[in-house]
């Protein structure tokens, strides 16, 4: 009778533990999670990652390879080909990626392109805090359950950052119709994953500061593998019992987490950062494939010649805006400094690749009809935003009078012959769609979006003018009022 | 916040943009590799890192041994 009671008690105890706790009959199991984040289409180091992953797979039973998002945007051989983003997906497939979080730059591809890439990917993209119902974009799953054998289950939850406008940092048109929710609030709705599966990992694209807040709110996480802030966490951070890791950006580093699992729970965890420079072997087939993608002849073509080297925003911004005024036959054009993504160009040939690195975002051009006062409101907004000169310009010269604290007190606009602009006249003004969408300025005309990107316009401009020289060009000035 | 000073910066800005908004001179030193940027936890943050609202960053001179 006593033994029957004991057996009944054991059955009750086991049923409380549930199926999910993944019992491993005492012997600890080691699980390796290789993790990267913010690769930004930098394909050249993927062959080394593939070699490392394959080597580990030969010596360990359970090896997973995960990305914390922003796989795209940052390399024209991936971003600017006809099948935008495909080279990255192809290479990630060959590396054997298990799962990727959504980063804000995933959306840069556009919803239709993203769907195509999802279909080609042999791994899922996950995210718990947006709802794409009713849009072009196929709704991703919020989480993925990794299995290490029959008994160990690891739930991986995807979470994406939102900016102060409540969307990820991408062009607003790319996320049209998608409803986004606060990542931490939404993640809490999935805390049951820990109870059900025993192990919970956050695969986040929130930035390290928000990862810390997430850990404070959800001690259920065993680990948060983060991205977005491009933080190099050399020794894993421990916050509220949660291990937080992140590996810089551009595939300069690979993270390697080792989980020791007993009775379906993590009993020990560690993480190390492996600099890519420390790896000397690469997957030869992938080296060849990367070479093929890099040798895209289109990108090595010369668009024009820099007679002198370009350095700084004034020269590069003037070139970019001159392309707009010249090609679009508008009066003026503006370019924000944040959209100028290289700081210099050497003297000599300017290739198509150089231009896509200078202007990688695929922004379309938007043309407004604006009066001088409206143009002043744009310049004033941009100055206050940056607390300094932000907008580079073509077709005019302008000066901002400021109080020395970064506040704009007034704007003066002059045409090419140094005359003040006519306050009653409407001028045509071109700018990239990022400025048009994100900057708050007065404009009665809602603007008209063109069908070509600012980078394509610049390529056509250089092909036409052939040689450019912007030494000493400065069109935007500030006067600090004493 | 950059070195405990509030920096207002546009949405989608990078760490390098925040340094530029903080000080042009610092931005130059960052570009020349003489400065590095760290977060409030002491982790190095790359110049192309994306910002989140309220993020705290600190500029530090690159240590001699790294030069």
Q: A86-128 pLDDT, tens per residue?
A: 999 999 999 999 999 999 999 989 999 999 999 999 999 999 9
Once rounded to an integer, what is the mean pLDDT over residues A51-62? 98
A440 pLDDT above the threshold of 90: no
Query: Chain B partners of A231 at a C-beta cutoff of 8 Å?
Result: 39, 43-46, 49
Contact B20 A386 (CB under 8 A): yes
Helix, strand, coil percentages for chain B (3-state, nearest 5): 30, 25, 50
Residue A254 vs residues A68, A234, B45: alpha-carbon distances, Å = 12, 11, 15
B12 pLDDT above the threshold of 90: no
Query: For B47, which residue in chain A has the nearest alpha carbon?
Result: A230
Query: Chain A partners of B46 at a C-beta cutoff of 8 Å?
Result: 230-232, 248-250
Quickly state the pLDDT bin for A401 (edges 50, 70, 90): very high
pLDDT at residue A481, rounded to an integer: 84
pLDDT at residue A451, rounded to an integer: 66
Contact B52 A104 (CB under 8 A): no
Mean pLDDT estimate for chain A: 92
Number of other CB atoms surrounding residue A1 within 10 Å: 5
Cβ(A34)–Cβ(A274) below 8 Å: no
Q: Classify strands A143-148 and A427-432 as parallel, antiparallel or unpaired.
A: unpaired
Contact B20 A237 (CB under 8 A): no
Quickly state the pLDDT bin for A18 (edges 50, 70, 90): very low
Domain A18-294 matches domain A301-480 at the CATH topology level:
no
Closest by CA position to A93, among listed A119, A122, A71, A125: A122
A355 pLDDT above the threshold of 60: yes
Instruction: DSSP for A292-332, please give it.
Output: HHHT-HHHHSEEEEESS-EESHHHHHHHHHHHHHHHHT-SE
Query: Greater confidence, A332 or A387?
Result: A332
Among A212-216, A396-400, A463-467, B22-26, where is mean pLDDT lowest?
A: B22-26
Domain ranges of chain B: 15-66
Contact B11 A169 (CB under 8 A): yes
What residues of chain B have any CB closer than 8 angstroms to a CB in chain A?
A: 7-15, 17, 20-21, 24, 31, 39-41, 43-46, 48-56
pLDDT at residue B9, rounded to an integer: 63
Cβ(A251)–Cβ(A39) below 8 Å: yes
Question: 3.40.630.40, 3.30.70.100, 3.60.21.10, 3.10.50.30: which CATH number matches A18-294?
Answer: 3.60.21.10
Exposure string (b/e) for A6-24, b if CB count within 10 Å is 16 or more? Answer: eeeeeeeeeeeeeebbbeb
Quickly state the pLDDT bin for A164 (edges 50, 70, 90): confident
**Domain A301-480 is found in CATH 3.90.780.10:** yes
Closest by CA position to A208, among listed A242, A169, A179, A257: A242
Domain ranges of chain A: 18-294, 301-480
A1 pLDDT above the threshold of 90: no
Query: For B40, which residue in chain A has the nearest alpha carbon?
Result: A209
Query: Chain B partners of A233 at a C-beta cutoff of 8 Å?
Result: 43
A139 pLDDT above the threshold of 60: yes
For A341-352, what is each residue's pLDDT tens digit? 888 899 999 999
For CA atoms A294, A296, A298, A301, the dihedral sign is positive
pLDDT at residue A449, rounded to an integer: 75
Closest by CA position to A38, among listed A104, A85, A94: A104
ipTM for this prediction: 0.85
Contact A169 B55 (CB under 8 A): no
Query: Greater confidence, A354 or A361?
Result: A354
Quickly state the pLDDT bin for A218 (edges 50, 70, 90): very high
For A167-209, what is each residue's pLDDT tens digit? 998 888 899 999 999 999 999 999 999 999 999 999 999 999 9
Counting residues of chain A whose pLDDT is more than 70, the rounded percentage is 94
pLDDT at residue A2, rounded to an integer: 44
Mean pLDDT estimate for chain B: 83
Query: Chain B partners of A206 at a C-beta cutoff of 8 Å?
Result: 52
Contact A385 B10 (CB under 8 A): yes
CA distance A364 to chain B (A): 17
């Amino acid at each position: 009778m006593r033994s029957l009671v004991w057996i009944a008690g054991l059955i009750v105890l086991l049923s409380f533990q549930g199926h999910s706790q993944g019992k491993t009959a005492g012997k600890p199991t080691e699980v390796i999670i290789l993790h990267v984040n913010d690769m930004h289409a930098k394909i050249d180091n993927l062959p080394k990652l593939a070699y490392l992953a394959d080597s580990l797979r030969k010596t360990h039973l359970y090896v997973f390879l995960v990305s914390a998002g922003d796989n795209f945007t940052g390399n024209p051989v991936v971003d600017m080909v006809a099948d935008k983003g495909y080279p990255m997906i192809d290479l990630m497939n060959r590396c054997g990626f298990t799962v990727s979080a959504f980063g804000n730059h995933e959306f840069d591809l556009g919803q239709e392109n993203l769907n195509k890439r999802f279909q080609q990917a042999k791994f899922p993209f996950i995210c718990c805090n947006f709802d794409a119902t009713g849009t072009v974009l196929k709704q991703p799953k919020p989480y993925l359950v990794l299995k290490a054998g029959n008994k160990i289950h690891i739930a991986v939850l995807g979470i994406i950052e939102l900016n102060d406008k409540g969307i990820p940092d991408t062009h607003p048109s790319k996320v049209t119709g998608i409803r986004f929710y606060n990542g931490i609030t939404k993640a809490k709705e999935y805390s049951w994953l820990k109870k059900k599966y025993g192990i919970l990992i956050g695969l986040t694209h929130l930035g390290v500061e928000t990862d810390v807040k997430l850990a404070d709110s959800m001690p259920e996480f065993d680990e948060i593998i983060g991205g977005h802030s491009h933080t190099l966490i050399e020794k894993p951070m421990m916050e509220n019992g949660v291990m937080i890791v992140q590996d810089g950006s551009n595939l300069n580093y690979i993270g390697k987490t080792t989980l020791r699992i007993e009775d379906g729970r993590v009993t020990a965890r560690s993480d190390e950062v492996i600099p890519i420079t420390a790896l000397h072997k690469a997957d030869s087939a992938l080296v060849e494939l990367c070479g093929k993608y890099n040798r895209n002849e289109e990108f090595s073509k010369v668009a024009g010649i820099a007679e002198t080297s370009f350095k700084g925003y004034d020269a590069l911004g003037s070139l970019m805006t001159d392309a707009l005024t010249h090609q679009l036959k508008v009066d003026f054009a503006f370019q924000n400094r944040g959209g100028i993504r290289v700081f210099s160009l050497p003297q000599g040939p300017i290739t198509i690749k150089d231009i896509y690195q200078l202007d990688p975002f695929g922004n379309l051009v938007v043309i407004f009809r604006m009066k001088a006062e409206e143009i002043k409101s744009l310049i004033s907004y941009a100055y206050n935003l940056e607390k300094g000169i932000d907008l580079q310009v073509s077709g005019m010269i302008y000066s901002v009078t400021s109080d020395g604290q970064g506040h704009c007190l007034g704007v003066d606009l002059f045409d090419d012959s140094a005359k003040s602009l006519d306050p009653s006249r409407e001028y045509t003004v071109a700018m990239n769609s990022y400025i048009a969408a994100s900057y708050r300025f007065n404009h009665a005309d809602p603007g008209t979006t063109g069908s070509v990107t600012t980078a394509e316009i610049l390529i056509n401009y250089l092909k036409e003018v052939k040689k450019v020289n912007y030494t000493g060009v400065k069109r935007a000035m500030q006067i600090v009022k004493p | 916040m950059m070195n405990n000073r509030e920096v207002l910066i546009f949405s989608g800005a990078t760490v390098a943009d925040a340094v530029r908004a903080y000080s042009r001179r610092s931005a130059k030193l960052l570009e020349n590799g003489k400065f590095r940027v760290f977060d409030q936890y002491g982790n190095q943050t790359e110049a192309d890192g994306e910002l989140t609202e309220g993020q705290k960053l600190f500029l530090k001179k690159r240590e001699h041994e790294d030069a």
